[in-house]
A and B are shown apart, each in its own frame.
Chain A
């Protein structure tokens, strides 16, 4: 599965421009689904199976997009000003490198700061693409780029600029490959524009009209030096979301996920995330409302160019997801 992960995280796909990721996913799942379609917002929706008497219409969503930057201005000396796509912090930008969709590379640096004990604001940063004039600059207003860092395998801890949320895309593809028998009509949705406000999942959920919904996404950990206080660690198994700042997971869904993990001997952690949310929120609030939850993959350094997951957590996440979708669900 590491090859699949590497292929996915090294593909470029900022929010709104997920085409390359979509192609990789489409190639991976070819022949595995009964029907595959792409909707108006670019969501890739793969249906597998039909709904048997004790089954449900289940939507799984993992987002294909990653954070990035977009050009707002090229100045007369060829320096590029930019805005962010999704949650990008100046702290993780300075000295970093970016790659544009048209293949151009660049580095981010900053204006001279008035005070060295304060972070620069985004409009004090610029991208240097090696151009020396506006006329010769190889990018223009509206062009998009993602952070550029190679994939790393640090002794089973995998690092990439796009673990959020390609790791979930990988988990869903693997689950689709491994899921042999299911009573459910399963919709594997590889969604778009999550990082800018769950936009893809909003429209996909309206279209699928699910009876049960699960997002697969990353979540923070509390296991780093003087980090956030949070009861999730790398290497202790997938996290079952109880709540985040955008959603209270349906308690029946949480119970079902916990019971499934315990029955199958899969290690798990309960997650309460104080900042951030996932596609589960959009699915929960679609149409007349849907029971929803989220399977989270613990991840360090989220929204930095070096997001880290534990490979064993990833494998256990696949196991848990396959177990969850392979049996009848009783939310009683």
Chain B
């Protein structure tokens, strides 16, 4: 290892530019091609093997110089939540459904990009002028919403096309704003890890598909890799705003600016306690900011990975972000830096003895 440790510095301009490209790319579950292309371009010079599997996962291997190296799977999902066009109402109006978990109440008035050509469109909202008294108290059902691409672009959109929010990536001081930071922050982390690989382990990087609709890519990726252990790197909601009634906020999930979020339990996984201890110890010894994501619902690819074959010790680390699964997520660069540092150093310090100890 050189004296200059990777990830001891702030995120560089080129790393940020890569995150921007990734965040702006459109990759709704099942159609991850745009992100897959960027990933392949970025990692090919840095890995020993890379392939795209039957479901579209990118599976890359970076070997170790050590013969008995632990085989460590690191995972991040390429897909994002979005929409699918399901019916053509003519004149540039299209009916659509949500792909992945999206709150319909956040949709009216949002701009979107449709199909492989990123055709701009808008999810129209009824103007306030024409709204009947009382109408604003009900949520607008998805059935009555349309994506409007304008009559001129009608021929460029067809049933089955995906659409994403049109939000462009921005950086404002320590804050980063984007539409698909869930989980392009993880994808970017994995790419950086492959560019600066910890030598002691064989790195098995899975850039997965279809996480948002049921962890589908990760399951087959883990089966193929059959690793000794796995770390899923994801994005998790932060609901850390003060409560309106000034009572202490006891259900924030994570907090912006408090560092990398380590998972103890979610609805899909009870993280391997040995790996939790290892992450906490790494963070504390190196002074890397970390927090525990509040145990509760939700989940990551770890939920699929740890149940594969005879079981795979697994844990998740997330970068917190406000307003997850809406048009715009807000995260902190400092939390991403902490996550990069934690993942790199925790993987570097892995040792087979960790798994020989009782769970």
Q: When chains A and B are docked, how far (Å) is the Cα of A140 from the Cα of B280?
A: 13
Of A73, A83, A204, A207, which one neighbours B265 at CB under 8 angstroms? A83
B273 to chain A: which residues have CB within 8 Å? Answer: 16-17
Cα distance A202–B295 in the bound complex, in angstroms: 23
- Check if A15 sits within 8 Å of B270, measured CB to CB: yes
The reply to whether B310 and A75 contact each other, CB–CB distance below 8 Å, is no
Instruction: Let me know if A72 and B250 touch, CB within 8 A.
Output: yes
A203 contacts B251, C-beta separation under 8 Å:
no
Q: Which residues from chain A contact B270 at a C-beta distance below 8 Å?
A: 15-16, 85, 193, 196, 199
Report how far A19 CA is from B358 CA in the complex, Å: 7
State in angstroms the CA–CA spacing of A140 and B251 once bound together: 15
A80 to chain B, nearest CB (A): 10
A283 → chain B closest CB, angstroms: 14
Cα(A19)–Cα(B270), bound, Å: 14
B295 near A41 with CB under 8 A, answer no
Given contacts A17-B273, A73-B250, A193-B270, contact A203 B311 (CB under 8 A): yes
Beta-carbon contact of A142 and B309 below 8 Å: no
Contacts of A71 in B (CB 8 A): 295
**Pair B311/A72 contact, Cβ less than 8 Å:** no
Interface size counted on chain B using CB atoms at 8 A:
24
Are B311 and A40 in contact, with the CB atoms below 8 A? yes
Distance to closest chain B CB from A313 (angstroms): 31
In the complex, which residues of chain A have a beta carbon less than 8 angstroms from the beta carbon of B265? 16, 70, 83, 85, 142
Residue A220 is within 8 A (CB to CB) of chain B in the complex: no
**Complexed CA–CA distance, A207 and B308 (Å):** 10
- In Å, the complex CA distance between A236 and B310 comes to 38
Asked if residues A141 and B310 are in contact (CB atoms below 8 Å), the reply is: no
- The A-contacting residues of B in range 267-307, CB under 8 angstroms, are 270, 273, 276, 292, 294-296, 306-307
> Binding site of B, secondary structure by majority: helix, strand, loop or mixed?
loop
Assembled-state Cα–Cα distance A204/B273 (Å): 19
Docked Cα-Cα span, A196 to B250, in Å, equals: 24
Query: Who on chain B is nearest to A85 by CB?
Result: B265
A63-116 interface with B by 8 A CB criterion? 70-73, 75-76, 81, 83, 85
| Complex contacts, A204 vs chain B, CB 8 Å | 310-311
Query: In the complex the two chains form, what is the Cα distance from A229 to B359 in whole Å?
Result: 40
Of the candidates A17, A70, A75, A142, which one forms a contact with B250 in the assembled complex, judged by CB atoms under 8 Å apart? Answer: A75
Residue ID in chain B nearest A42 by CB atoms: B359
B251:A41 contact, CB within 8 angstroms: no
Residues of B within 8 A of A73 (CB): 250-252, 294
Residues of chain B with a CB closer than 8 A to A142's CB: 264-265, 276, 292, 295
Alpha-carbon gap, A207 to B307, bound state (A): 12
- If A16-B265, A19-B359, A72-B250 touch, does A39 touch B311 (CB 8 Å cutoff)? yes
Complex interface bits, B96-107 against A, C-beta within 8 A gives 1, otherwise 0: 000000000000
Interface check A38, CB cutoff 8 A = yes
Binding site for A on B (CB under 8 A): 248, 250-252, 264-265, 270, 273, 276, 292, 294-296, 306-313, 355, 358-359
A-B contact pairs, 24 of them (CB 8 A): A15-B270, A16-B265, A16-B270, A16-B273, A19-B359, A38-B358, A39-B310, A40-B312, A41-B311, A70-B295, A72-B251, A72-B294, A72-B295, A73-B251, A73-B294, A75-B250, A76-B248, A83-B265, A123-B251, A141-B294, A193-B270, A199-B307, A203-B307, A207-B310
